[in-house]
Amino acid sequence: MTSAHPDDRSTGPGTAVALRAGSAPEPRGGAGWNRQGAVLDPATAAAVRELGQELPLLPPALLLPLLQALRATLPMPRPGEQHTARSLSVQWLGKRCAKSPATGEAYCRALVSWLDFCQAGGLDPLGARTPDVDTWTGRLAGRGASASVINQRLAGVRGWYRYLRLGGTATADPVSDADRPSAAAVDESETPYLTIAQTGALLRQARWEVDDAGDDPAKLELVLRVAALVWLLPVTGVRSGGALAARVRGLHYNGGRRRLRYRLKGYEGEVSDALPPQVALALDAYLDCRAARQGLPALTPDAPLFATGSGRRWDKQGATKALRGLAGRAGIPHADKLNLHALRHSAGSSAHNELGIPLDKVRRLLRHRSIATTQIYVHDDLRPGQSVADKLAAAYAAEIELPGSGTLAASPSGPGAATRAAIAAHARVAALHRVADAGDGLPAAVVAEVAATFTALLDRCDGADPAHAPFAETVRALVAGGLPSLADPDGRVRPARP
């Protein structure tokens, strides 16, 4: 038997287990056990036996509270009763999990939250009314739940009541007329994201840790696992839920290229994405290490693509913790705020803003149906000086220096236009200084583009106005030096940083 990894001491969210009533033996020492080794307290073990049916594939961290909530709030089945509120609840969640594991888990959280609220208030869920639902959602909002989270929970509980009505165990639907919070319309997501330089730092740290792992199989598998994940997500833009739910059989060849087949959110079947060689190598190294540690020539096709040391599916909580740890060791600011979805945002933002890839191609990469969704993933402030706010600030700054120069289109030619171009160039240089002083790197393609722009501006600025000669000198120094942070605020050239 292989030894468990240090992060596998307890059963965590995302670990899929299937239980059948009767599969848990009689309680040993006051507790029941399922065939996967998860501990069931006496009340939960009794609930399993009462249901008499297969339970949905859910993490034990969700499954056990669900069974306890069903037992505490829904009526005891009567002898010979075919469709009970408890059995219909489990059947409904099983259908949701089979269609989409992520949706099933989200709806399970919603149902447990609602049933816990009912239990705390002495409320019969089958007799609840719309004002009760409004009170529940009000408490969720008071605890900091966002509008999207509240609406998701309402959708889950509404689906639960609908299924109970179909089974004849509920007569009312208190959710359909409940108040729904409206999410503020935004053009940009607040999800954190990484620049190309920061993602590179993350991958560089992962490579160092793989090198440091040496010949320790367990440690090497852990670092190869997170390295494979941080190669896959920000390169392909695959949703973390799809990647973590994928199986080894999802890796295949087609058209001479390595591809990954996974389940896509909102689709019934699976989709297949091509993998760049760097991503394929990282995944192969991780899977080969796993197989070798288990003494196998290769992993079974049904094995999870990303797994814990004991072979269970790696869950989002564990993967997020590993990502934040790696980011912290790589020196990335606010590493404790990162999440797996940030890597998907990084793919979209970096592709469009830093590499100049057209938005429609980014949409296809992220598999969005609407380009409006893709625009939410694109963060304008990623490219210095290019957002609307940056351009307005540059125009206002130019107006301060020389009244009438804020609108570059006012005079298409002549000394005035050249002077305004010089002032605009100075504003662009100042923006680059702020980026350099903050420690952010600029990719070579952006450096070349900015250098070409500044060179063209110099051709228009030279000799136009002696008062702005220091600006032109600063621009020349930046172009010649590869655009490091070279100038003081007064425009004098200073030595580049080592």
Percent of the chain scoring above 90 in pLDDT? 32
Q: What is the pLDDT of residue 192?
A: 83
CB 140 within 8 A of CB 149: yes
Q: What is the pLDDT of residues 323-367, one digit of tens each?
A: 999 999 999 998 999 999 999 999 998 888 888 888 889 999 988
Closest CA to 245 of 190, 319, 171: 319
Q: What is the pLDDT of residue 106?
A: 86
Q: What is the pLDDT of residue 490?
A: 45
Q: What is the pLDDT of residue 461?
A: 55
- The amino acid at residue 491 is G
**Ordered DSSP codes for 304-361:** BSSB-TTSPBPPHHHHHHHHHHHHHHTT-TTGGG--HHHHHHHHHHIIIIIT---HHH
Angstrom CA distances, 6 to 3, 25, 294, 309, stand at 9, 28, 16, 8
Partners of 32 in the β-ladder:
40
Q: What is the pLDDT of residue 47?
A: 55
Q: What is the pLDDT of residues 210-249, one digit of tens each?
A: 999 988 889 999 999 999 999 999 999 999 989 998 999 9
Q: What is the pLDDT of residue 57?
A: 63
What's the pTM value of the predicted model, to 2 decimals? 0.56
Q: What is the pLDDT of residue 278?
A: 92
H-state helical runs in 83-239:
85-99, 101-120, 130-142, 147-167, 196-213, 217-236
Token pair of 30 as six digits? 């006051």
Can you tell me the distance from the alpha carbon of 181 to that of 146, in angstroms, rounded to the nearest whole number?
Answer: 9
List of the chain residues with pLDDT < 50:
1-39, 187, 408-415, 438-440, 484-498
CB 322 within 8 A of CB 225: yes
Can you tell me the distance from the alpha carbon of 377 to that of 352, in angstroms, rounded to the nearest whole number?
Answer: 10
What domains are there in the chain, each with its CATH number? Answer: 6-167 (no CATH), 196-381 (1.10.443.10), 388-480 (no CATH)
Angstrom CA distances, 456 to 63, 414, 476, stand at 65, 15, 11
Q: What is the pLDDT of residue 1?
A: 35
